[in-house]
């Protein structure tokens, strides 16, 4: 466990989770004057597949007018400490992770992501699973590079590791190698079917999603299913699975996300309402790997307060001042 931390900042306002544009000219002391606090609960740094370091990410979050930011790198907590050290005045950091999960109730099995907030990083069960998944990601990455090289493509595993720079290895790092080789112009192009989207895509050794919810709860964290209706990403789990996850302790569903259509957002909200789950909105910011802006989608304060109140792992951290 980490040492005791400051009490969370909980400004009262409504619970509406509203997508909105990134503010311009936001004050360093908060968002635009008179606005409700802006809370983005899903962002990635170079600790996984983002392009900003944890320190750069928290500084950028404050610069664009966010009041609360969740750092949710894939399967790792390695960005927590540098983000905490660099916290600017007035920004609250929610420490979390995005867990690589899978539902094995159909064939082929369906990958999905679980956001975990404010869990104890030293909880043995969850820590062991995250370490296993990170190791599996490296094995998969090296196998993808071997497939590319077998087809005469000029990329190397050492180059991919250099792009990852000690963080969790993911396909975006292989995409950077393809961009460097002049084979694609962007990460989005690298994820097309003829590249990492299909031809050179290999499955990951993910965590069973039911086990993941249990482990997050055992670690004192709050589990939220990320972009559960994002059909543009591929197969999605049926509602019956989410019903079962809710019975195990799933706390919320991410509704406002760039990969959800308006109809999909509405469907997520309706399902959450039936199950008594809260809904969140978040950018899923990855820096230049994606076009979405930090703070493009946000979460309501009442939902934020519910997350903080139910967490038993670590507390939010607020910058000095």
**What is the pLDDT averaged over residues 101-109?**
96
Burial 6-27 (b: 16+ CB within 10 A, else e): eebbbeeeeeebebeebbeebe
DSSP 8-state symbol, 223: E
CATH 3.40.50.720 fits 39-130+206-318, yes or no: no
pLDDT of residue 74 exceeding 70, the answer is yes
Alpha carbons 225 and 260: distance in angstroms, whole number: 13
Global pTM value: 0.84
Per mean pLDDT, which range of 13-22, 171-180, 182-191, 228-237 is the poorest?
13-22
Query: Would you kindly state where each structural domain of the chain is located, as residue ranges?
Result: 39-130+206-318, 138-190
pLDDT in tens, 228-252: 999 998 899 999 999 999 999 999 9
Residue 112 preceded by cis peptide, ω within 30: no
Confidence of residue 204 (pLDDT cuts 50, 70, 90): confident
């Amino acid at each position: 466990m980490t040492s005791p931390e400051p009490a969370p900042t909980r400004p009262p306002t409504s619970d509406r989770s509203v997508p909105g544009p990134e503010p311009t000219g936001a004050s360093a002391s908060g968002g635009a004057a008179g606005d409700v606090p802006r809370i983005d609960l899903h962002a990635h740094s170079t600790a996984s597949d983002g392009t900003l370091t944890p320190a750069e990410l928290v500084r950028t979050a404050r610069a664009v007018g966010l009041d609360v930011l969740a750092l949710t790198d894939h399967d790792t907590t390695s960005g927590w400490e540098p983000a905490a050290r660099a916290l600017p005045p007035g920004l609250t950091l929610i420490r979390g992770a995005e867990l690589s999960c899978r539902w094995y109730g159909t064939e082929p099995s369906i990958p999905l992501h679980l956001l975990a907030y404010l869990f104890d990083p030293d909880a043995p069960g969850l820590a062991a699973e995250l370490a296993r998944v990170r190791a599996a990601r490296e094995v998969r990455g090296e196998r993808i590079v071997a497939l590319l090289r077998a087809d005469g493509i000029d990329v190397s595993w050492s180059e991919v590791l250099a792009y990852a720079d000690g963080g969790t290895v993911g396909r975006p790092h292989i995409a950077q190698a393809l961009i460097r080789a002049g084979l694609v112009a962007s990460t989005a192009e690298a994820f097309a079917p003829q590249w990492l989207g299909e031809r050179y895509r290999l499955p990951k050794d993910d965590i069973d999603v039911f086990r993941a919810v249990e482990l997050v709860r055992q670690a004192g964290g709050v589990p939220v299913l990320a972009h559960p209706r994002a059909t543009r990403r591929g197969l999605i789990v049926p509602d019956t699975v989410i019903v079962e996850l809710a019975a195990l302790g799933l706390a919320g569903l991410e509704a406002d996300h760039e990969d959800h259509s308006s109809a999909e957002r509405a469907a997520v909200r309706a399902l959450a309402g039936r199950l008594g789950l809260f809904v969140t909105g978040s950018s899923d910011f990855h820096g230049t790997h994606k076009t979405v802006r930090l703070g493009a989608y946000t979460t309501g304060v009442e939902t934020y307060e519910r997350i903080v109140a139910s967490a038993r792992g670590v507390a939010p951290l607020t910058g000095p001042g």
